[in-house]
Amino acid sequence: MTPQDSSRGADRAWQVTTTDQARLISDPRSRAFLVPFLGRKRSVSEAAREVGCPLDAMHYRVRRFAAAGLVKAVEERPRAGRAIKLYRAVADAFYVPFELTPYAEIEERIRKDILDDDERMVRILARAVRASGLEGRRLYRTADGDPVYASANDDGPPQDWRETVRTWPEQRAVADHVGAVLELSHREALELLASCQDLLDRLRDRGGDGTVVRRPYRFQFAVVPWDDATAPS
């Protein structure tokens, strides 16, 4: 497959053929170092800035990716002294056969992906709750009749969390875990997923004038038929 200068994935993905390739792509930490070279050319220093890692760490990853046949040097950028090499993934899209991944079962792969993120999220949420002064939780029913069990500052009248956070100062910790079991039709479930994806796309593609300070936030969202939890696969 000949890589194309495009932000979109190729029509047909390049299939990995070795367990080493599959392992490098399957591991989220490793994959983060490969992403800068996916569908575009980057120098090692440019990729390191994008990932936010030391230059030596990116050099090490590029050597591993190159040895595994996942990236290659495609161009040299002239400069005084030694030219700068530009690297690119060997394809704009990769397909990883499940049997080549380090996981024995689909459940094992999903479990690892979810648990790794959940452990980190638990630590961050706990720190945010402590910093926000939310010292307890309140169980009550809203004016619409919906039961709510949510974090609270004290035993005073309940306030809509969404209204409260609008008045928080910039330095106030912002983190929450939102979950619900909803009665939905299949079409409504698809519409919910599509709406969340549209919102994510809009936030990713928004421009910036450099005056707004942004930091990475983790957004985690899943829509699954909850009554299938014990159903046979």
User: Does the pLDDT of residue 79 top 80, yes or no?
Assistant: yes
pLDDT of residue 183: 85
Do residues 64 and 32 touch, judged by C-beta distance below 8 A?
A: no
pLDDT-based confidence at residue 14 (cuts at 50, 70, 90)? confident
Q: Which residues touch 151 (CB under 8 Å, ≥6 apart)?
A: 129, 132, 134, 136, 137, 138, 161, 176
As a whole-number percent, the residues of the chain with pLDDT over 70 amount to: 75
- What are the structural domains, with CATH classification, of the chain? 14-100 (1.10.10.10), 106-228 (no CATH)
Question: 180 vs 38, 53, 133, 148, CA distance in Å?
Answer: 36, 37, 24, 10
- Distance CA(25)–CA(31), nearest Å, equals 5
Please name the helix (run of DSSP H) or strand (run of DSSP E) that holds residue 151, with its range, or none. Answer: strand 147-152
User: Does the pLDDT of residue 3 top 80, yes or no?
Assistant: no
Backbone angles phi, psi at 182, to 5 degrees: -115, 150
Residues 181-210: what's their mean pLDDT? 85
pLDDT of residue 11: 57
Which residue did the predictor score with more confidence, 67 or 98? 67
User: Does the pLDDT of residue 167 top 70, yes or no?
Assistant: no
pLDDT of residue 90: 95
Among candidate residues 157, 216, 158, 228, the one with its CA nearest the CA of residue 186: 228
Amino acid at 6: S
pTM of the entire structure?
Answer: 0.54
